[in-house]
Amino acid sequence: MAIKAHTMGKKSEEFSDAAQKHANASWVLLIIAGVVWSFSDNWLWALIPLVLMAVTILKSVSSTLIASKLEQLNTNEDLQAL
């Protein structure tokens, strides 16, 4: 995916920003899950935001890995240009 992003002209900063947004969303969903769990009679309702949180965590990790690979690709290109 990093090579595809690199050929499309994407920068690592874009993926780092996306990773941070997903991480922030994960914290918000955790808080929402806690509120739902505490106010709901059925704890199963808290699973909805927890599942969404798991998805956003995976997206954050994926974006971080792609940003890291893009930085390596850019570094390798810079070294080859010398």
Domain ranges of the chain: 20-67
Please report the DSSP string for 53-71 in residue order. HHHHHHHHHHHHHHHHHHH
**Structural element, H or E, at residue 20:** helix 12-39
> Tens digit of pLDDT per residue, the chain (82 long)?
777 777 778 888 999 999 999 999 999 999 999 999 999 988 899 999 999 999 999 999 999 999 999 988 877 766 566 5
**Residue 12, both tokens:** 């690592």
